[in-house]
Amino acid sequence: MLPPAPHAPARHWLLAPYALVLWAVLIGVLLGHFAPEVAVQLKPLGDAFIKAVRLLIAPIVFCTLVHGIASLHAPGKLGRIGTKAIVYFEVVSTFALLLGMLVANQLKPGAGMHSKAGDWEGAAAKVAAYSSQAQQQSSSGMLLDIIPESLPGAFGSGNLLQVLFLSLLAALALRRMGSGATPILAGIERASQVLFTVLGMIVRLAPLGALGAMSHTIGQYGLKSLGNLGLLMAGFYLTALLFVALVLGGIARACGFSLWRLLRHLREELLLVLGTSSSETALPGLMQKLRGLGCAPATVGLVVPTGYSLNLDGTNIYMSMAAIFLAQATDTAMSWQDQLWLLAVAMLTSKGASGVTGAGFITLAATLSAAPGIPLASMALLLGIDRFMSECRAITNLIGNAVATVVVSRWEGELDAKTLREALNSQAPPPPTHP
């Protein structure tokens, strides 16, 4: 038998699914820069792909969580998982907010801009729209908003907390049914397999979605919009990188696994988020891969969707840095007491922000509304670069929730460090150790 051609591995790598998404992103950047008129017309490709994936998120979360919880042998495990996850979310989210605030105070990206109200008039309508959504978010009441208006409404609202609420009720009801729930659980498992099969079909179109989203972004806003606000962008990307490397990397190391190996394992999802600027597009694939690593379905089904509402590390870094930037740009004096109050407000307003594009901007509006001092209209300064910063927000959010799920699974004893390391090194899923 003849040896393989020397260039075969390279050709295979270039045609790998994650490589195709990366090529689509690069083509989108070039197309948006050199042919913006054509690029902006490709927006429907990105929108259609995101809508198709979001269509599957709620039913996949429902099936995964209901089957996982209803199949638990230890009744107290659900409460333990939830408690550990929430404690982890609060501690790590606070680190993210503090890190963003410290870097913004040291870097001072807005110092010297001396921006006045006249500089914001051109984008007043857009800021007003974000402000209106922020007021709805802050006044609706997060606890009441968890309860859906109707059963179908939970799946169509886009609020993952409503899906979690309905899933918990259904799972607990099935546990009460005992052996009578066995055929129902079998049906839910079959439905889950169908949904993941459909997801696999849709993900094949990820390069087209990434091409459409990135082309429109560059074509609409242009690379030149990064100019005078480049220091803020560079500071944000650097801070997010430090957070991932030092905070999340340290947590991973303490729990016996390599963060970089985990990121390699999730490379398709990371590139998908980069291309579409939405962490939601990677949520179903993330859940599937974490289950393949050995995390219990109940843990994955509870921690990942909850983290998408309560553990948005990238959004937290962005909010604290953007708020301090706007204070500096508008010459708004803020003492350390004012900044700590802003941090406390951000800890509340960041909860419930979804992973869709623009959610970070809406959450920032809610934060500024609840912490008077910084002119809300000054958010117009960020409109030109927010779309470029959303990629970093979404990727950081995804990494944070992946690490959180593995950490909680390790705490629950669902997979040991040696088996996890071997799985990440070989890229093959370990045999599940949970019941």
Residues 294-328: tens digit of each pLDDT: 888 888 888 888 888 778 898 889 888 988 988 88
Asked whether residue 432 is domain-assigned, the answer is no
- How far, in Å, CA of 166 to CA of 351, rounded? 19
Tally the domains of the chain: 1
Based on the number of CB atoms within 10 Å of its own CB, is 92 exposed (0-12), middle (13-18) or buried (19 or more)? Answer: buried
Angle between helices 297-310 and 383-411 (to 10 degrees): 150
Asked whether residue 164 is domain-assigned, the answer is yes
- How far, in Å, CA of 388 to CA of 398, rounded? 17
Residues 113-128 have pLDDT tens digits of 666 655 555 555 555 5
Asked whether residue 312 is domain-assigned, the answer is yes
- How far, in Å, CA of 294 to CA of 279, rounded? 22
Task: State both tokens at 21.
Answer: 């998404």
Domain with residue 281: its CATH number is 1.10.3860.10
Closest CA to 361 of 341, 345, 381, 342: 381
Asked whether residue 9 is domain-assigned, the answer is no
Structural domain span for residue 342 = 17-426
Instruction: Pick out the chain residues at pLDDT < 70.
Output: 1-18, 73-75, 113-144, 158, 221-229, 349-362, 370-372, 383-384, 427-435
Q: What is the pLDDT at residue 100?
A: 92
Which residue in the block uniquely carries the two structure tokens 């970089």? 260
- How far, in Å, CA of 40 to CA of 170, rounded? 44
Q: Which residues of 181-213 are buried (b: 16+ CB within 10 A; e: fewer)?
A: beebbeebbebbeebbebbeebbeebbbbbbbb
pTM for the structure as a whole: 0.76
Asked whether residue 389 is domain-assigned, the answer is yes
Asked whether residue 5 is domain-assigned, the answer is no
CA distances from 283 to 176, 194, 278, 372 (A): 30, 17, 10, 35
Length of the chain: 435
Asked whether residue 369 is domain-assigned, the answer is yes
